[in-house]
Structure 1
């Protein structure tokens, strides 16, 4: 019986052998690339290359970038991959003036700190310093060189229930009305412990009370729009709303003369 002849396919079809060799070469190249990528990753994670290179602070107005970064505890020696968002955000939010904080990571090594500050609704005049009063009623005492240019100054007020109620009223005011106020003096009377005198940036004076201050002061723009801007005086907002102009210079002089005559 005649034996069947074995045919070597690679010899008959050389292209199959070439394709197998190319496939093996590609697999080898893939393994080599993967090996070097692993080496590079190890070097990256174990070297300063993985540390934070840039920290940017956004949203802050009164707190300096430096202070916020110090609060976060982040430095250029901190590994980008070891930053715990929740822990850092909690650290920054411990500042009394920070309402909320958010951390964003941007590959390969940039950190952005997004800050939302609590609004300063007033400043307390304390000797030769101005202490910021936040929207939650907290008075910042550890501040230096504050210039009150974004909120009214509270004069003759003491920390306590009265000022807390005043702050609550200020937080309800529209920003354009709040920014129009220069000073708020606590001027209690025999009949109204909560009476106050307000000096406006446009030269008018307002006589009001704490209890309904926000509601009454919201009418201020419409009241002023009906007045002669060349005639200044007192806008009364206690019970009924009315305007009383300051005495003219000659009337004031006559009043002074009469007062002197009666002495």
Structure 2
């Protein structure tokens, strides 16, 4: 039977003392670190470094940055950590042109405001200015013609708010692949159909349709155009389907009528 090695208590005491010393040192380092972290936090909170120095606004195109900052009611007099982010969001969301708002802190002393504006679905032409029309039917302050990007259809001769509201809702539902093809929309009311509109498309066609069910009718536009051999003409899209009248046909009819008169 093998003999067990016996370690005397004298040999173990130095090792136990060393282990206990290391454990004590680690604990001391931890408490000292914690103490200095807490002191640093207190100093930071009491110093100007913890007050808002920068307010950054992202995502705005039409709503001025100054307007958003003013709505937030934030300034360099506010401590970064005393600000209620949820309250600030609610204050900014009161602006009628904003769909969504997010506010967050950014160390050491900044507030970042991310906004999402209501989508612009068209412009309304008013003399020498263009007024952006938002998806909720809200018309915002006009912009200079030089700033018009042509990134949404231009509404012309729309004289009643009711029809403006309806066309805004319809354009919002229309796929981007179709709405980007529309250059101008003219309101052409008749006694029989006060909702009649005439569209000028970027690919050379004109479209006659109605404000009511506008999105539903115009969704079929790409499919209709893909089946046409003539590259220019008027497409009439309505409840009964679609009818295409090429410009050539119209020109030939007018020429025949002129020849008959001359004859």
| TM-score over 0.5 for the pair | yes
- Of stretches 60-69 and 148-157 in structure 1, the one that deviates more from structure 2 is 60-69
Q: Which residue of 2 aligns with 1:45?
A: 45
Aligned pairs, how many? 243
Q: Which residue of 2 aligns with 1:195?
A: 196
Contact 2:199 / 2:206 at 8 angstroms: preserved in 1?
yes
Q: Which residue of 2 aligns with 1:157?
A: 158
Q: Which residue of 1 aligns with 2:126?
A: 126
Tell me: CA distance 1:46–1:255, structure 2 relative to 1, closer, same or farther (3 Å): farther
Residue 111 of structure 1 and its aligned partner are, at CA, apart by: 2.7
Residue 243 of structure 1 and its aligned partner are, at CA, apart by: 0.8
Tell me: CA distance 1:59–1:256, structure 2 relative to 1, closer, same or farther (3 Å): farther
- Of stretches 42-51 and 190-199 in structure 1, the one that deviates more from structure 2 is 42-51
Contact 1:123 / 1:148 at 8 angstroms: preserved in 2?
no
What are the equivalent positions in structure 2 for 1:99-178 lying under 5 Å apart?
Answer: 99-140=99-140, 142-145=141-144, 146-178=147-179
Structure 1 gap segments, 5+ residues each:
1-12
TM-score, normalised to structure 2's length? 0.77
- Of stretches 53-62 and 87-96 in structure 1, the one that deviates more from structure 2 is 53-62
Contact 1:130 / 1:148 at 8 angstroms: preserved in 2?
no
CA distance in 1, matches of 2:30, 2:206: 84
CA distance in 2, matches of 1:196, 1:75: 49
TM-score, normalised to structure 1's length? 0.77
Residue 77 of structure 1 and its aligned partner are, at CA, apart by: 4.3
Contact 1:48 / 1:77 at 8 angstroms: preserved in 2?
no
Residue 180 of structure 1 and its aligned partner are, at CA, apart by: 1.1
Structure 2 gap segments, 5+ residues each:
1-12
Partner SS state of residue 166, structure 2 = helix
Instruction: Quote the RMSD (CA, aligned, Å).
Output: 3.5
Alpha-carbon displacement from aligned partner over 1:15-36 (angstroms, at most 9, x marks no partner): 97xx79x969x769946972x5
Contact 1:208 / 1:237 at 8 angstroms: preserved in 2?
yes
